[in-house]
């Protein structure tokens, strides 16, 4: 391998490192704020990191040891909040970045949480339901000392769901000898979950898309929308946008992409996906490889799958005028600059997908007071939070002549820094 290739490979690895990507945006926003170097150091550094071994008796009688992480990035504004993901690709830098993003996400929408994230290195597709339950319960027991309704409140994330949260709630409750519904959010409604929680992240993406369109003066009736992903974020966002009159021309899952230039019948697509578990074979569309989807002609692109989808290697071929980030970290820092230079409006992840953590906050509040709201009330309050937060970010962007992403970071970091200064350093 030549020296140039080594440098290029290292450069790409650095670009795709989510913690470095978060740090770059943090530094740019901090420069605009004129943030003191000491405060920067505090806010950049996770408050606590925990790595645990998870020994599990498998169905075949063998024992395997899995690795789990929980990173608590910042406590200053309230209990830590953040999802738990199960994936073979989980690594500590990813969890650190996601925890920091949660801090900024909670701050940008003004809810009184800090940021956390957790993960277990495993492939859920290769595990039985019983093995997943044992992993979840042992992982919960291993991080018990740092969890609690006033300490750290987990939620679902990639490859985890309301059943996972029910196992965590039960495990925690059995250890503390009392039913503690507020220990997690994203639970089944029967055990303290909130109405509207499942749709919340997708609904927040829909609201962010509408607000972005309004600022750009674009007509929803003629805008073509490409949605990368078809799960609780992408699929629900596509359904809600379809109901609002947007033309969804493409949706994808992990196996492939479907395209219909005339507009997809999104309810029919989601019914097919539910019945067949993949988009493959859907009859009313052209089928493409996933690598082609992001570069399709469209006005609106919603990357709602995973990190590092838009990079310096494909950003110049993106044709959308508006990108709404449904996933966490779908655009690298280098790609963000290229899109900004091309005049593309990007509604950043810490704003666009904050609907989930907002309704998680609503769920936590309802659990704490033992009184539950109707879905209409939940959706109305989510609408108010998301629209107000978009206005706040847009105002900062205009005032400081920066992108929406840097404006969102500036707003979030300034709010956390203000609390830190007021509280001071405990000694």
The residues annotated as belonging to the active site are 117
Cα distances (Å, whole numbers) of residue 325 to 38, 99, 234: 31, 17, 10
Query: How many other C-beta atoms lie within 10 A of the C-beta of residue 267?
Result: 12
Rounded CA gap, 66 and 68, in Å? 7
In the structure encoding, which two tokens stand for residue 375, read together?
A: 């879905």
Determine the distance from the C-alpha atom of residue 175 to the mean position of all C-alpha atoms in its chain, rounded to a whole number.
Answer: 30
Distant-in-sequence, close-in-space partners of 359: CB < 8 Å, separation ≥ 6 = 194, 196, 197, 200, 378, 382
Rounded CA gap, 348 and 340, in Å? 12
String of b and e for 248-259 (b: at least 16 CB within 10 Å)?
Answer: bbbbbbeebbbb
Cα distances (Å, whole numbers) of residue 319 to 285, 336, 341, 386: 21, 14, 13, 26
Distant-in-sequence, close-in-space partners of 132: CB < 8 Å, separation ≥ 6 = 86, 124, 164
Burial of 291 (0-12, 13-18, 19+ CB in 10 A): exposed
Determine the distance from the C-alpha atom of residue 274 to the mean position of all C-alpha atoms in its chain, rounded to a whole number.
Answer: 23
């Amino acid at each position: 391998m030549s020296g140039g290739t080594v440098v290029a490979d290292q450069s790409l690895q650095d670009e795709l490192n989510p913690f470095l990507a978060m740090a770059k945006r943090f530094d740019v926003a901090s420069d605009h704020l004129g943030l003191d170097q000491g405060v920067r150091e505090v806010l950049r550094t996770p408050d606590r990191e925990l790595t645990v071994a998870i020994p599990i008796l498998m169905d075949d009688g063998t024992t395997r040891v899995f690795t789990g992480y929980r990173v608590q990035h910042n406590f200053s504004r309230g209990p830590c909040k953040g999802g738990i993901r199960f994936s073979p690709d989980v690594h500590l830098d990813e969890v650190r970045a996601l925890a920091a993003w949660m801090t900024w996400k909670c701050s940008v929408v003004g809810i009184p949480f800090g940021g956390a994230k957790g993960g277990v290195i495993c492939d859920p597709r290769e595990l039985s339901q019983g093995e997943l339950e044992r992993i979840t319960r042992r992982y919960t027991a291993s991080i018990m000392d740092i969890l609690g309704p006033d300490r750290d409140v987990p939620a679902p994330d990639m490859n985890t769901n309301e059943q996972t949260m029910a196992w965590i709630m039960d495990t925690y409750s059995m250890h503390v000898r009392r039913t503690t519904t507020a220990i997690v959010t994203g639970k089944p409604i029967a055990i303290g979950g909130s109405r509207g929680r499942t749709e919340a992240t997708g609904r927040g993406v829909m609201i962010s898309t509408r607000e972005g369109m309004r600022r750009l003066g674009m007509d929803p009736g003629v805008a073509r929308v490409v949605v990368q992903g078809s799960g609780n974020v992408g699929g629900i966002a596509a359904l809600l946008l379809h109901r609002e009159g947007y033309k969804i021309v493409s949706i994808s899952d992990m196996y492939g992409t479907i395209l219909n230039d005339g507009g997809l019948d999104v309810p029919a697509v989601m019914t097919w996906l539910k019945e067949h578990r993949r988009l493959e074979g859907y009859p009313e569309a052209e089928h493409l490889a996933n690598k082609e989807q992001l570069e399709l002609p469209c006005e609106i692109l919603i990357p709602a799958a995973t990190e590092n989808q838009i990079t310096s290697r494909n950003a110049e071929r993106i044709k959308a005028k508006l990108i709404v980030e449904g996933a966490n970290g779908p655009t690298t820092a280098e790609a963000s600059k290229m899109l900004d230079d091309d005049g593309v409006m990007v509604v950043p992840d810490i704003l666009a997908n904050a609907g989930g953590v907002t309704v998680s906050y609503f769920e936590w509040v309802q659990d704490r007071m033992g009184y539950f709201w109707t879905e209409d009330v939940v959706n109305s309050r989510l609408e108010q939070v998301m629209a107000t937060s978009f206005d706040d970010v847009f105002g900062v962007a205009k005032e400081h002549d920066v992108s929406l992403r840097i404006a969102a970071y500036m707003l979030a970091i300034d709010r956390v820094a203000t609390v830190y200064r007021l509280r001071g350093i405990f000694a």
